[in-house]
Amino acid sequence: MELSTAIAICGAALAAGLAGCGSSLGVGIAGEAGAGVLTEDPKKFGLVLLLQALPGTQGIYGLLAGFLIMNKIGLLGGQLVSLTIQQGLAIAFAALPVGIVGLVSGIAQGKTSAASIQLIAKRPEEAGKAVILPAMVETYAVLGLLMTVLLLNGIKI
């Protein structure tokens, strides 16, 4: 395997790894808050589960970006494409938006979800608003993914 391919694989690993870390931390924070509510009021399970799952999307975006990179360099089909060092580096850099934004926004969304879980603990009638607040954080994770996809598309092999 060429060094350029290894660099591109490093990009795929960063995309999936960083975004996955963000999601796991976020889901963890929201889960702890969820357990607090469910101890007192198990009937709120449905809503709590939704709010806990919200920070999980960053991990999926990271995985998607990782697949796109693997597909681009032919790692999925087993037919590795020959890359120059510059192309390998460009792919690795293209992976960064989804990875970094996924890490930061995953934690931030977890915190907002946990706060929203506290909101529904006190005011279950405000469930709609409680879902919108953490969903706002999602925008930036989507933008990160969009940037990575556009950059990958722009790299000609």
Partner 1 sequence: MERDFRYTYAATRIRCLEKELLPLSFFHRLIGASSLSEVRKILEETVYGIREGEEFDVLWERESRRTLSIVKDVLPNKRLKDFFSYSYDIFNLKVLLKNKLLAKRGMKKNWDILVDMGTVPVDKMISIVENEQYVYLPFHKKDSVYIIWDLLDRMEKAELDTKFVDLFLDKLYFNFMLNEAREMGESFLVEYIKLLIDLTNIMTFFRAKFAGRSKSFLSDVLISGGFVDEDRLVDVYQDNLDSFVKVLHYSPYSGLVEKMAALFEQGQDLASLEKLKDNYLIETLKNCKFVMFGIQPIVAFMVAKDMEIKNLRIVITGKQAGLSEGILKERLRYVYV
Residues that bind partner 1 (CB under 8 A): 29, 32-37, 39-41, 111, 114-115, 117-118, 121-122
CA 108, distance to chain mean position in Å, is: 12
Please give the structure tokens belonging to residue 93.
């850099």
Comparison of 33 and 95: residue with beta carbon closer to partner 1: 33
Comparison of 37 and 141: residue with beta carbon closer to partner 1: 37
Comparison of 4 and 23: residue with beta carbon closer to partner 1: 23
Comparison of 44 and 72: residue with beta carbon closer to partner 1: 44
Q: At what angle do helices 57-72 and 3-40 cross, to 10 degrees?
A: 160
The least CB distance from residue 25 to partner 1, in Å, is 9
| Helix runs in the chain, H state only | 3-40, 45-53, 57-72, 85-122, 127-154
The least CB distance from residue 112 to partner 1, in Å, is 9
For 3, residues 6+ apart whose C-beta sits below 8 A from its C-beta are: 85, 88
The least CB distance from residue 156 to partner 1, in Å, is 43
The single residue listed with the structure tokens 């005011």 is: 123
Cβ-based burial of 73 (10 A; exposed 0-12, middle 13-18, buried ≥19)? buried
| DSSP code at position 78 | S
Comparison of 16 and 121: residue with beta carbon closer to partner 1: 121
The least CB distance from residue 51 to partner 1, in Å, is 11
The least CB distance from residue 29 to partner 1, in Å, is 6
